[in-house]
Structure 1
Amino acid sequence: MESFGDLIAADDVLFFVNAAITATGQREFHSDEGAQQLSLDFLHAYMLGNYRDLYAGVLALDINDHNAALIIRRLLETAAEAIADQRRSEGRLIAGRLALLPPQRVYGLFRSLRRSGVNNRRTRALLRDWLSARPDLALDAVKYRSGLKQALRHTHLAPGDAEVGTFLFAPQSSAHYDTPILETWRRAHYEQTAVYELPYTVAEGFAAKHGIPRGVFLERIAPRLTRVERLRLQQTARQHGPAAMEAIGTDLSRMPLTRLAGYVLSLPAAERVSRREELTGALRTAAARVAGRHRGRWGQVTAVLDDSFSSYGSGVKRQRPLVVALACHYLLEALAGRYTGLWTSGRGDALLAHPVGPTPLGERILDALSTAPERLVIVSDGWDNAPPGLAGEVLRVWRTRLDPDRRTSVVHLNPVYDATGFDVRRLSSSVPTAGIRDAEDLPALVEIAQFAEGRTGLAELRTYLDARAAQLPPIPQRPAERSPR
């Protein structure tokens, strides 16, 4: 039997996981940037000081990149406080998580470690092994030159390739590079044709230097664009005429579900209507891809989806809560054998969703329970205000009086971190609440909800974290030569 301290620890970890999934330190609808950052910093300090092992173990979960980088930084900054076993397990977790982070995030992490003066042996080994696993370090040198250069200089490592080293530290000293991407970069300083052979983010600067018209640049750089870049440039291309639009194009059916939902909601309502078949088809294809082998196996599912005014989010996270709700709508439709989606506004056309009105969650939950679902999923920021507290009371009565045997599984997924409560806002103590960042994480979050319901304790939670840690990609160990600098 677990002690009271174990139960507290399990609860604290789940508390932190919700924050690490949803919080990014940016302004939200109900709190400003300063409050978000202060609240998040406190949670990280609390977890590191009280549960170092569990704090590191959270790296194996589907937390957002911002918090993953914060955890890694704090673990490396306090490496002297860890015992030998902790250093070994933390090293594996950090290396595995670094392999999943976008390269610009990793370089930003090592830049922050440089500012903090962290340059211990473990930090140098982690960077060495991460760099040795990069598929094309020359490409990194071109795209992330400043970050790579600072990281190597701080940790006293050499890139292993002499040309890359020359490019980073004395780029103008070579009249020719044998590495194609480096030679293309050199030529792009005086040849406009070379600009279009570079990655978009690098070519953009050269296009401005050469005074290339934006429309012409977009047409000619189109073959070099990634899927995400194509999606991001749709509106810009539209402003520069049909030729640019045709060149940019994009296969929406291949886009990630949550990112695609964000694109759809960025379009004017009239365009969504005119492209209804295309957009709906793309969303359903993306949702089916996420559902995978679970497609159609969740039985009868009803969702309550929040499209109230607060789902606008903020200027820096515009419509993010609504984006997550829309993506969850299509994913739950794919997972369910029979599906009903209920929006708080009462509207029935998901494609035309937009932030509007109060949040009558209680009424919609009553409507949802009347469908007798096997699973009820609520996607909301938890600010139930029409009338306040009705949702919590409905769920309490349902759990204690009408469905004590839990024939209906209920879970609340919240995409917004509540800075004042140090957690995502909950509707009821009788219903598990989990933070959600991307709809793609929904199946795993429903699995994690069993811990939040109190059905399992610290031992099971540790086992779950260990199992997730085993799924992290390994980093190949390959020594790198020391820099002569």
Structure 2
Amino acid sequence: MNANQKTSLNFFNHLCTDNTPFILRRDGQLPQWQDATLHQSMYEQNPEFYALLAVVETVQPWQQARILFQLLQSSRVGMSADQRCLLNRVTAFLLAILAPDSVLTIFLALKRVRSNHKHTTKAILNYILNHPELADLASSRRPALVDSLEHALGKNVVRACAKMFTQPETEESQTYLRRHLLRFARDPEWVKLIFPLLYKQGTPQTSNGNYKLAHTQYTEKLKGEKLRLKTVTATNRGDISATLVHLYRGGKSPELEQSLDYYVEESVRQLPIFTGKMALVLDASASTRSYGEREFSTLSQSVALQLVLKKCCRNLQVYTVGGSGFPPVPQGHTDLALALLDALESQPDLVAIVSDGYENYYPGDLERVVEALPRCGVETPVVFCHSKFTPADNLTLRRPVPNLPQLEFWHQEDFETVLLSLFSRVNSQEAQTCLQQFLLQKLDQIEKELALWTVIN
């Protein structure tokens, strides 16, 4: 696997884990972001896929800000109308869900790098002139707004518009204002009232900070129900695992099995599809049973992920460790190393190990096997997926292979991120196409549910 392929495989994980600020200092220097080359490389490979990664729930806010900066600073010469439309849609999404102060930082960074394409100008003007808290924004961040507007339209144009607002209306001035400024505003009369204050000396600051909350109406909806749980129980971590817990504790019944099939089908409709070959090592050893209120909980969530993967992967092979039957009854030792070797023998595109993290059979054996794989010429991606009871579970003693990529899940809503992270590690155009189609559908759904105010009509 060459360096470019490794970069592509690691990019998704980078977006979800690195939240280093995008730094713009007051000394006039260019913006500082250490992963600039990485973002630029991924954008050049596939601008549409790069942009759509921003809609993934777990992508860090400052990484979303970087994507916004990359989309606005890059030229779109040679792109088709459909490509331009998609990039504009993602731009509108990012402008709506990012904190306003972060958006203004990006606008000022665009001025530093002297990037002023047509789509850049439209994005800046649409955001500022139609902001739901324009008055508060203008009072709190007046210098930043002035710099952003003057960069978008030109200093002479913006100052001429501000001057015309304070003078008696003429047909010539109104034509000028509509052509250069007001055509971007949904409420021109409101802009006429606020805009002159940006250049009026001695204007008192009357802000209350409400502009900082403009994005929260969207971010709260995107967080999902699982983050609002005050108490985690065995049956409120998703319908699939809850039904499995009932099956484990109360025995099989046609009603529960029918409900299980229904919940799996409903979940799969909102998840990505993988057309390659995947191997799943499922830990159903005795330790996965747990005890007390957690009894069967982590195993139920692991089996829930297995059921979902069966529907999302056309070619999935499962290697169960310990337990047998369905749902597998937890028993026996945790020999993950042998199961991994069996899985690799089938030459899959990807191997996922789903476990509670307790290795009680030849401890350290799995780590030694994983370390030996590259020396044997095995380049198949192997990912360790931790099944947890709550998001706060301590995994310090539950990492049998620290050098393997690690994923964590405790709620059914985590499945989307887990599947995206798994499938993104497969280096094939077919896998990337499947992910791109899913993310496009996700963007469609977000636009319908959230009604973003930043959408350019």
TM-score for the superposition, normalised by structure 1? 0.45
Choose between structure 1 and 2 for higher RCO, CA contacts under 8 A separated by at least 6 residues: 1
- TM-score (normalizing by structure 2): 0.47
